[in-house]
C-alpha cells in the first residue's frame, strides 16, 4: 500500500478487505498503538437503527473473546 493510498480510522491503519456482507465490510487493520493486526468492522451508511443495535451488540460480545 502506498503512503498516498493509506486509509486511517482512528488509531487503525486499514490494510485490506477481509470480507463483506449485507450490512458491513470487515477490513484488516493495524492498531498503531500496539502494532497488532485487528479486524475492523465498518457498517454501511444506510442501516436502520435496529440493525445498527444488533451489530453493536455483536461487536461488544466479540470484544470479550480472548484469541
Domains of the chain and any CATH numbers: 3-63 (3.30.200.20)
Per this entry, what is the length of the chain?
67
Whole-model pTM: value is: 0.68
Alpha carbons 13 and 36: distance in angstroms, whole number: 11
Residue 34 or 65, more confident: 34
pLDDT score, position 67: 63
Among 45, 48, 52, smallest CA distance to 60 is for: 52
Among 21, 23, 17, 20, smallest CA distance to 46 is for: 23
At 1, the pLDDT band (50, 70, 90 cuts) reads: very low
Q: What mean pLDDT comes out for the span 2-22?
A: 85
Alpha carbons 3 and 1: distance in angstroms, whole number: 7
Q: Residue 43, SS3?
A: strand
pLDDT score, position 62: 84
Amino acid at each position: 500500500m502506498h503512503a498516498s493510498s493509506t486509509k486511517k480510522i482512528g488509531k487503525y491503519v486499514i490494510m485490506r478487505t477481509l470480507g463483506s456482507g449485507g450490512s458491513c465490510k470487515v477490513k484488516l487493520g493495524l492498531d498503531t498503538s500496539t502494532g497488532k493486526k485487528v479486524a475492523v468492522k465498518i457498517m454501511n451508511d444506510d442501516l436502520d437503527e435496529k440493525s445498527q443495535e444488533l451489530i453493536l451488540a455483536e461487536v461488544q460480545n466479540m470484544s470479550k473473546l480472548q484469541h
